[in-house]
Structure 1
Amino acid sequence: MYIDEQSKPETSTNVFSLSGQIAVITGGGSGIGQAIAGCMHKAGAQVVLIGRREDALAKATEELGDRSSYLVHDITETQKSEQLAERLIADWGKVDCLVNNAGIHLKKPALDTSVDEFNSILETNVLGAHALISAIAPSMIKRKSGSILFVSSMASLFGIPQVLAYSAAKSAHLGMVRTLSTELSPHGVRVNSIAPGWIETEMSSKAFANDPARREKILSRTPMQKLGSPDDVGWAAVYLASAAASFVTGTVFPVDGGASIGF
């Protein structure tokens, strides 16, 4: 049995604080990833945003200000994962929390989805995350402290048409969470997943503008009868990374307004 001294709060009033933590967020330059970075930053963490688009990363860190930085990296270039991990440790000395948020989406009928398209979704959402975890987790194990988060989806919990590859990739996250948590938790590294419901983002707003009937259908089956905000996901990530969740591992945390249990 281990006692993670670094995660123990000084007082009960700061149990949700991430002060002193180094949080690495993939896909952190926009959307939900940016919101997670923002909430973790507000909770006191030093956040490091990872992504392919330097312009988006630079803008996001400029908005965050102090205690934020970025590294340009394409997680599908799995052969460079070790190099990225070494850079993170060299720059910050440790990684307390890794958020596997980077991902791509494909909306297409299942029988029209090509093998190449399927592979592309898996490379980013699954294989890229695995490579980064394999590179970073050993340093967490050595310190006997760390948190790994996946950003999954409602598509991993129930059937949604025309997202076969995406659903398969996000469902894979849940298997990864369960296996990784059984292997890593004895070493002080917790592994959890957040499954966002329908969140009001720039991407979803554009999609709903062209399909108002879909928006109404989503709201009709969501008990809270509204879309979530990116910060709803961000604050869930703060909780799972904090000392408040020190006995939480292997979980899938829906942030969905009740959609996963709605009728």
Structure 2
Amino acid sequence: MSIDLANFNIQKIYSLEGQTAIVTGGASGLGLAIIRCLVSAGAKVIVLSSRGPEEAAESLNEFGEEVVFYQFNVTDTDRTQEMVDRIIAEQGPISILINNAGNHCKKFIWEMSVEDYVSVLNVHLIGAFALTKALVPHMKTLNRGSIIFMASMASYIGQPQISGYATAKAGYLGLVHTLTAECAEFGIRVNAIAPGWIDTPMFRKATDNDPVRLAKIMGRIPAKTIGDPMDIGMCAAFLCSDAARYINGACIPVDGGGLIGF
């Protein structure tokens, strides 16, 4: 894997020109920032979201033909392969998958029902597994691919009232490790991003009426600031590019130092 220094071009290395990505949950928040960065790097993006097309269009119209929307709920796993096959038939080869769809249930374990817990796992973990399973054989035929799971600080540290979310996010690390071992020889890289506390609607929902929680969060971030969604988008674009060609099986915290903060 030596670099051809005679023809080395850093802009080309970071470019995603000619690649097509699938991003789940991409009509708002982190997903929208990821789309913005992938498109800026030259990729075409397929957005899968359970939102209706009219609602999604409000967020995605700015991208024109570089972004194509498909309404699909990732928990509808009986139809996942059918949807992937349709996208490939209509849009061509898919070399990037970013598993970003998610939901949240802020309850203590003694308040949470089993149905609440399963609902969170179905979106984050089961849905992402099904979509990845459907795409890996296709990526094997391409002999290339970049798969990213959106992990979390909850993959590593304990936080109250998010037992389903934390289970799913920790589960991503196991998937990343196993899929790397299975897929690396076929040119498929599998990584994760662990966002810290990022200024999204989900973050504001969790902290707006909980000043104690917000103060605790701010107290452990050495950078003393909440992250911007574009920080996650830029990391995703990097991981999908050839600049990250030797990064495989990793989970990158994008957190202002929050994971090691005191």
TM-score (norm: length of structure 1): 0.94
Contact 1:149–1:194 under 8 Å retained in 2? yes
Aligned-partner Cα distance in 1 for 2:207–2:115: 28
Determine if the alignment matches structure 1 residue 194 to structure 2 residue 193: yes
Alignment correspondent of 1:6: none
Aligned residue type for 1:224: A
Alignment correspondent of 1:28: 26
- Partner SS state of residue 259, structure 2: helix
Shift of 1:206: 4.0
Alignment correspondent of 1:177: 176
Aligned-partner Cα distance in 1 for 2:128–2:30: 16
Aligned-partner Cα distance in 2 for 1:10–1:141: 27
Alignment correspondent of 1:218: 217
Alignment correspondent of 2:103: 104
Aligned residue type for 1:12: I
Shift of 1:138: 0.5
Aligned-partner Cα distance in 2 for 1:83–1:137: 14
1:74-153 aligned within 5 A: 74-153=73-152
Aligned-partner Cα distance in 1 for 2:10–2:208: 45
- Partner SS state of residue 129, structure 1: helix
Aligned-partner Cα distance in 2 for 1:133–1:246: 19
Alignment correspondent of 2:10: 12
Contact 1:151–1:194 under 8 Å retained in 2? yes
Contact 1:49–1:57 under 8 Å retained in 2? no
Contact 1:24–1:50 under 8 Å retained in 2? yes
Aligned residue type for 1:197: G
Alignment correspondent of 1:259: 258
- Structure 2 gaps of 5+ residues are none
Alignment correspondent of 1:70: 69
Aligned-partner Cα distance in 2 for 1:203–1:172: 20
Aligned residue type for 1:222: I
Contact 1:30–1:56 under 8 Å retained in 2? no
- Structure 1 gaps of 5+ residues are 4-8
Aligned-partner Cα distance in 2 for 1:236–1:23: 15
Aligned-partner Cα distance in 2 for 1:205–1:85: 33
Alignment correspondent of 1:204: 203
Residues 107-116 or 149-158, more deviating: 107-116
Aligned residue type for 2:11: T
Aligned-partner Cα distance in 1 for 2:245–2:183: 14
| Residues 1:67 and 1:10: Cα distance change in structure 2 (over 3 Å) | farther
Shift of 1:209: 2.7
Aligned residue type for 2:35: A
Aligned-partner Cα distance in 2 for 1:12–1:122: 40
Given candidates 13, 38, 41, the residue that maps to 2:36 is 38
Aligned-partner Cα distance in 2 for 1:28–1:201: 13
Deviation string 1:161-218 (CA, Å, 9 cap, x unpaired) is 1111110011101100000011011111000000001001133234433223322221
Residues 49-58 or 115-124, more deviating: 49-58
Alignment correspondent of 1:168: 167
Residues 236-245 or 84-93, more deviating: 84-93
Determine if the alignment matches structure 1 residue 49 to structure 2 residue 58: no
| Residues 1:228 and 1:40: Cα distance change in structure 2 (over 3 Å) | same
Aligned-partner Cα distance in 1 for 2:205–2:121: 25
- Partner SS state of residue 178, structure 2: helix
Runs of 4+ in 1 over 6 A off after TM superposition: none
Number of aligned residue pairs: 257
Aligned-partner Cα distance in 1 for 2:170–2:56: 28
Indicate the RMSD between aligned Cα atoms, in angstroms.
1.6
Shift of 1:34: 1.0
